[in-house]
Amino acid sequence: MSETPFHPLDHTWPDQPADRGTLGGRPVLDCVTGAVDDSGEILLGPAIPVRRGAEGWEWLVVHVTASPLPVGEEVDLEVDREHRTALSAGHTACHLAALALNAVLADRWRKEARPDSLGNPDFDQAAITSSRIEPHGSVDVYRLGKSLRKKGFSAENLDPAQVAAQVNELLAGWVAADAPVHVQVPGPELTARRTWHCSLPDGEASIPCGGTHLTRTSELGRVSVVLTLDDAALTMRTTVSMC
Ligand SMILES: [Zn+2]
């Protein structure tokens, strides 16, 4: 099996953008997931008709460069460290913000809901429609529609500013706790089911995740969210101000 230090965009859940860097000195313009079907054809990103890890397909990390590399040449792969750290910070903050949001919204559930790893009803998983990791931040969009109401969630009189203030208070405590973060990797293959872990004062948090992360919550410096409610969409913008 060949290896690469580059993180490719996942076509199934495209949350964390591709790494930047160089391959044999050439800039890597993009890095995407590739899948090889029975006929040997390589399909890229959105053109892949199955979910990541589907049986019968071979999975690849595809590095896009402006000029082709000579076949057989040995090259160095170098990831832009600064950009990667900024994305890792954004991704770690994204998960912490989701857990904090679950905790703050917990008393709005009228029916039993599937709990997150800290035992709160998992609003994040029940309502999320998209998650985008950015350098030093993330944008998560949640749908507060009929289907969520049917599951037992009440968005009545939800004050985004008040919820954000409570989320930020929790986040400040978690950053101050200097909690260790690690990603559990069960196998070397691209499709291995990885899990993000964080040992918070509130308990051992875990979330399935294919992205990259920091190693301690204190590295985040400061994390804060801004919530906006527009129609039935709740948008959470998370920002990290690293020291
Ligand atoms: Zn993740």
DSSP 15-42: -SPPP-EEETTEEEEEEEEEEE-TT-PE
Q: If you measure from the C-alpha of residue 210 to the centroid of ligand 1, how many angstroms do you get, rounded to a whole number?
A: 6
> Average of pLDDT values for 29-55?
92
> Average of pLDDT values for 153-160?
96
Mean pLDDT of the chain: 95
Q: Which pLDDT band holds residue 243 (cuts at 50, 70, 90)? A: low
Structure confidence at residue 17 (pLDDT): 96
Element holding 168 (H helix, E strand) = helix 160-176
Report the candidate in 94, 95, 118 with the shortest Cα–Cα distance to residue 106: 118
Structure confidence at residue 1 (pLDDT): 53
Q: If you measure from the C-alpha of residue 206 to the centroid of ligand 1, how many angstroms do you get, rounded to a whole number?
A: 10
> Average of pLDDT values for 160-183?
98
pLDDT tens by residue, 85-138: 999 999 999 999 999 999 999 999 999 999 999 999 999 999 999 999 999 999
Q: If you measure from the C-alpha of residue 8 to the centroid of ligand 1, how many angstroms do you get, rounded to a whole number?
A: 13
| Parallel/antiparallel/unpaired status of strands 26-36 and 21-23 | antiparallel
Structure confidence at residue 53 (pLDDT): 86
Q: If you measure from the C-alpha of residue 134 to the centroid of ligand 1, how many angstroms do you get, rounded to a whole number?
A: 12
Q: If you measure from the C-alpha of residue 211 to the centroid of ligand 1, how many angstroms do you get, rounded to a whole number?
A: 5
Q: If you measure from the C-alpha of residue 127 to the centroid of ligand 1, how many angstroms do you get, rounded to a whole number?
A: 16
Rounded to an integer, what distance in angstroms lies between the CA atom of residue 241 and that of residue 93? 10
The percent of residues above 90 in pLDDT, for the chain, comes to 88
Q: If you measure from the C-alpha of residue 159 to the centroid of ligand 1, how many angstroms do you get, rounded to a whole number?
A: 27
> Average of pLDDT values for 162-184?
98
DSSP state of 145: S
Rounded to an integer, what distance in angstroms lies between the CA atom of residue 18 and that of residue 25? 18
Say yes or no to pLDDT of 139 above 80: yes
- CB neighbours of 224 closer than 8 A, spacing ≥ 6? 164, 168, 171, 238, 239, 241
Q: If you measure from the C-alpha of residue 157 to the centroid of ligand 1, how many angstroms do you get, rounded to a whole number?
A: 30
pTM: 0.94
- Tally the C-alpha atoms within 13 A of residue 229's C-alpha that lie toward its C-beta: 13
Q: If you measure from the C-alpha of residue 209 to the centroid of ligand 1, how many angstroms do you get, rounded to a whole number?
A: 4
Rounded to an integer, what distance in angstroms lies between the CA atom of residue 56 and that of residue 235? 37
